[in-house]
Amino acid sequence: MHEIDKQYTLTPFYGKRRMAVVMQQKGFHVGPKKVRSLMEIMGLEAIYPKPHLSANNQAHKKYPYLLRGVTIVRPNQVWSSDITYIPLRGGFAYLVAIIDWYSRYVVDWELSNLLDTSFCLEALRRSMSKGWLPQIFNTDQGAQFTSEAFTGILLMAGIQISMDGRGRALDNIFIERLWRSLKYENVYPRNYETMKDAREGIEAYFNFYNNERVHQALGYQCPKAIYYA
């Protein structure tokens, strides 16, 4: 599963057959059926180039995608959130992050060993307690983000809710780039053993990412400099 995560982060368009071939080349004796089973556990779908870590709950209300043709011109115009798989030596965890689209600033995040709504709510509440609110909040249609508990907080604050349509590969491109940077610059090299290790290491990385890591798209400034400008 950890090797599949690495390959998926690099080539999210690989389906179960190509992924099985790559895993076989790496020395794993697996076929497409086994790879498909593992990708389902991890929530990975090749036709949707991002971790779809929570099943679509048909009973939850879905909101339209509001960002088609929208030009992002300022901080706190759009925030988005997503969940990704974090490998540990003895298992795995799930990470949710909330990012400001304009500045790439990570507003807040939370780590959990359970794929439920509570850790997403915790990150959302903390992010909204810091003095600024977004005009639009964008997510996928996963059960955590479509839950009444999550959408209710946004609606009560007067925030517009936007949700990706299935198969829209670029809807959350900024947070997808964040996941790739986090994993290749921090998670994979450090090979965290426990949740505690991962939490401490990811916290240090996000502090670096926000306050020091320069981005070419930001004129070689760090996200904090743009967000607080």
Cα radius of gyration (the chain): 17
pLDDT, tens digit, for every residue of 117-156?
Answer: 999 999 999 999 999 999 999 998 888 999 999 999 999 9
CA–CA separation, 62 and 43 (whole Å)? 20
Contacts of 188 (CB under 8 A, 6+ apart): 6, 87
Q: What's the pTM value of the predicted model, to 2 decimals?
A: 0.85
Assess contact for 110 and 120: CB atoms under 8 A.
yes
Torsion of CA 173, 175, 179, 185, to 10 degrees: 100
pLDDT, tens digit, for every residue of 3-14?
Answer: 999 998 888 778
CA–CA separation, 66 and 16 (whole Å)? 32
Is the pLDDT reported for residue 165 higher than 60?
A: yes
CA–CA separation, 138 and 2 (whole Å)? 28
Assess contact for 106 and 178: CB atoms under 8 A.
yes
Class of domain 78-227: alpha beta
Q: What is the pLDDT of residue 167?
A: 45
pLDDT, tens digit, for every residue of 209-228?
Answer: 999 999 998 999 999 999 99
